[in-house]
Chain A
Amino acid sequence: MSSVEATTDTRTVSRWEQLFDRSTRELLVGLLFAAPYLALFTVFLLYPLLKGLYMSLHEWNFLEPSKSTYVGLENYARLLEDPAFWNALWNTLEFVGMTVPLIVGISLVLALGLNKELKGSRVLQFIYFSPYVLTVSVVGIIWAQMFAQGGVGTQYLGWLFEGTPLNSKFWAMPAIVVTTVWWQAGFYFAVLLAARQNVPERLYEAARLDGAGPWRMFRDITLPHMKNALLFVVIASSIFQFQVFGQPYLMTKGGPVGSTETLVYYLYELGFQTRELGFGAAVGYTLLVILVGVSALNYVLVGTNDE
């Protein structure tokens, strides 16, 4: 309380200043500003997160939660022996493994191609971006029809499979991948296009004088400049695609024979159909661990320090 003694008679000291010293006051004001977000964060993120962890350690009684019994890691042990979980995990990995490279590759090619000020490039930019504004239900319905009997996709690709792709154990997942890439690539294209347009044109001129061809310019100038944007695209799309649910829900109901049942879809079944909330929470937590691992791996592989 030294500040109180230092300021004696000449100026008035408010009660607020008497009670707290300077650094405490700053902390309190800071907390006050952060409070609205912290409140939302606590209610909608922190509490569910902890509740989920708590649930995953219980045999959860859906109707009377107080009668739930603590089972320790039993749900996780069951998970490891559950073929449906492994199937869902494998399907999810298959989906992510196809979708993310396609999205990154296609959006990068589009961004590099449309960077030039050509006639019509604005129109194409708009067209490529536009699917992203649709909701998953619209996208799902459009593509379910495309791939239905007599649909456009089925007509042209009918020789590949018997019936329709969504009824084919092998082709259902690729059909969902195509749907997703069509829906999402436009957004990442916009991100990468912005990054590409941030590269100073002068550098390419300097490189031309230095004798660099298109490949060297791409490798030595474009790619290093776009590294952070690419990292973002890879991580963001990975995290998003790992949580795929709407497309299989709308297009295949996880079928045929579970071939498009993904982790979140499996989670949905456990939660809303068989009401195994404790076990479902364990699946959810496993997904969380996978996502954190994927993000960490990306950071390590691509690196983030940008001098």
Chain B
Amino acid sequence: MGRITIDNVRKEYDSDAGTIRAVDDVSLNVRDGEFLTIVGPSGSGKSTLLRMIAGLEDITGGEIRIDDTVVNDIAPQNRGVAMVFQNYALYPHMSVRQNMSYGLKLTTDLGDDEIRRRVEDTAEMMGIGDLLDKKPNNLSGGQQQRVATGRAIVRQPDVFLFDEPLSNLDAKLRLHMRTELQRIQEELETTAVYVTHDQTEAMTMSDRIVILNDGTIQQVGTPAEVYADPVNKFVADFIGSPSMNFFDVSLEEDVLYGDDFDYAIPSSFASVVRENARSDSLVLGIRPEHITVDTDGEDTVTATLDVLEHEGSDNYLYLSKGDTEWTVRVDGNTRFEWGETVEFSLPPEHLHVFDAETGENLVVEEGMTADVDSSSVTA
């Protein structure tokens, strides 16, 4: 079992500049066996939240429960969690075998033979069976990462905590370890909370994603949900690469007026926006991959091609008109010339309209707002 319940948790630090609130009233449920990723920019409080679950940071307010036990005042080693650190934090003076068996020796009354068997089985599973007698300094980054993960696995915890475990690896290895970690987590069916600043990692690995900013939860949802229906401009901007196009617009009748373009939208769509809007200043958002370069739409926009980026299967067009810039993804086979005028349409089903002031998404479908409460339904 490994359910985690986080109830109105706060973390405050005292500093010279006054009290800093690193985590601000966060509530969240992590389901048993789930792979949950907490993602956010640096300083968003994601590591602090993870470290509070681990017991490495005191909780200023609120409650964290693992299964049905309140763990606020329980020592880290008694919480049934194991953690993989960003810099691996392997004990440099111990061999791989000693690193992996250290926790078992201290927290269990397993015999030496049983510990040896478990360490060897885990090492085999992690592909580091032949490194057991080496010291961490003699291992490559990838091997150290495996040892750090193995050290967590061998404890057979209820919950794995990962603190940016792949950020020190090179791109290729990172990709490989991503699938490796997913495979292991699925095999063991152990709850995993994974912290990263890399939205690609979050999107590809997780059952659900928590997007954190300034210590508060922005959205909780599956990767598909947060991609398709971001609740606010921050989430829309953070998820997806390259990120969403944003334009300051105003709505008059059924037409969105930007600085250098105007675009007619279906009146049903317009009325939803009008219904939810609190002011006239709006932000239009559309992802580069959703803009279609054709003239079939009801309305079109034209802009000049500044830069063309080939990325193999896809091309990215960087277009501009006046001060307005557009990023558009097109098929890798399409041919465009520099300076060419490109005409494109914005499919209404992919349009997002945000309140310029609050950033709130005005057209998210009911039920897709994935607010905190909807996540508390445990699987």
Contacts and interface: CB of A to CB of B under 8 A. Distances in A.
Interface in B73-102: 75-77, 81-83, 85, 87, 89-94, 102
A216 interface: yes
Question: Among the interface residues A208, A209, A307, which one has the most CB atoms of the partner chain B within 10 A?
Answer: A209
Contacts of A216: 106
Contact of A209 (B76, B87, B92, B135): B76
Interface string A196-228: 000010110111111110001000110011000
A210 B89 CA distance: 12
Interface string B50-86: 0000111000000000000000000111000111010
Contact of B91 (A208, A209, A221, A307): A221
B93 A224 contact: yes
B106 A200 contact: no
A203 B103 contact: no
Contacts of A221: 91
Contacts of B81: 209
A216 B85 CA distance: 20
B93 A209 contact: no
B313 interface: no
B89 A206 contact: yes
B106 A209 contact: no
Interface size class of B (residues with CB under 8 A): 20 to 34
Contact of B77 (A200, A202, A210, A220): A210
Given A205-B56, A307-B135, A210 B87 contact: no
B324 interface: no
A251 to B, nearest CB: 43
A211 B103 contact: yes
Nearest to B104: A210
B85 A205 contact: yes
A212 B54 contact: no
A294 to B, nearest CB: 26
Nearest to B94: A220
Contact of A208 (B56, B92, B137): B56
B107 A206 contact: no
Given A202-B87, A202-B89, A203-B91, A209 B54 contact: yes
A87 B85 CA distance: 59
A206 B93 CA distance: 14
Nearest to A220: B91
A207 B137 CA distance: 18
A13 to B, nearest CB: 47
A221 B106 CA distance: 14
Contacts of B103: 209-211
Contact of B83 (A203, A206, A224): A206
Nearest to B135: A307
A114 B135 CA distance: 31
A173 B54 CA distance: 54
Contact of B87 (A200, A208, A220, A224): A200
A211 B85 contact: no
Closest 6 CB pairs of A and B: A211-B77, A210-B103, A211-B107, A211-B106, A224-B93, A202-B89
Interface of B: 54-56, 75-77, 81-83, 85, 87, 89-94, 102-103, 106-107, 135, 137-138
10 contacts: A200-B87, A200-B89, A203-B89, A207-B102, A208-B77, A210-B102, A210-B103, A216-B106, A224-B92, A225-B92
